[in-house]
Amino acid sequence: MIENTYLSELLIDEIADALQQCGYIQLQEFLPESLATQLQQEAKSLSSSAFKPAGIGRQNDLQLNTQIRSDSTLWLDDKDAGEGKAKAQAHYLQFMEQLRIGLNRRLFMGLFDFECHFSHYGDGDFYKRHLDAFKGRSNRILSTVFYLNDNWQKSAGGELVLYADEQEAPLLVVAPLFNSCIIFLSDVFPHEVLRSNSDRFSIAGWYRVNSHCATHLDPNQ
């Protein structure tokens, strides 16, 4: 059974304050544990059959390049959500919708919708340094990564490394720990996923603005 997925006003305040001051925030115990567990179980059960090799770009511009990224993905969808697995996806999307509304009220960001997918990094998989959006060329505003890995050890690798602009030294190194989340401005922080030495699961997502003039679609994570 999934616990209530109501996002507290205090947590939204904390996220909004950090985004305004720093442009990013790292959070622990992000979701009710029962929901995080169900999402983890679903990701693991679907990864062997439903996940597809991740590409760079979207739709007609989608390209596969295993020299840049080698993970696999499956987009979340709340349509026809019933009991069990699909319902867990719907709860997650509802949770992130509450965050969208809350951030718009506090920061007037104009966030229009949210898209996300499961990600699976197997042994040896990685994603080289990149930006999720380029200023003036994308409608992606805010990136989120939610992690689904129990008892993750440092030797397993797979950290998300966040950089400040063009700096070579990392700004932040994020271990993919169960029920933790990082949220950051999409066009500000280049980042990469270091080589994973074990199965690594997450949900990568983006809040977008309703920009019909965007001519460039950026790589998903």
Helix/strand/coil (H/E/C) assignment for every residue in 8-39:
CHHHHHHHHHHHHHCCEEEECCCCCHHHHHHH
- The Cα-based distances of 82 to 10, 46, 95, 179 in angstroms read 30, 17, 17, 23
Q: What is the pLDDT of residue 56?
A: 78
pLDDT digits (tens, 9 = 90+) for 177-214: 999 999 999 999 999 999 999 999 999 999 999 865 44
> SS3 for 33-100, per residue?
HHHHHHHHHHHHHHHCCCCEECCECCHHHCECCCCCECCEEEECCCCCCCCCHHHHHHHHHHHHHHHH
Tokens 């950290």 correspond to 159
Q: What is the CATH number of domain 9-208?
A: 2.60.120.620
Query: Hey, where are the domains in the chain?
Result: 9-208
Return mean pLDDT, the chain: 89
- Is 70 exceeded by the pLDDT of residue 22? yes
In single-letter form, the type of residue at position 152 comes to W
Q: What is the DSSP letter of 218?
A: P
Main-chain phi, psi angles of 47, to 5 degrees: -65, -30
Cβ proximity of 159 and 173 under 8 Å: yes
* pLDDT average, residue stretch 57-79: 81
pTM: 0.90
- Encoding tokens for residue 44? 């693991």
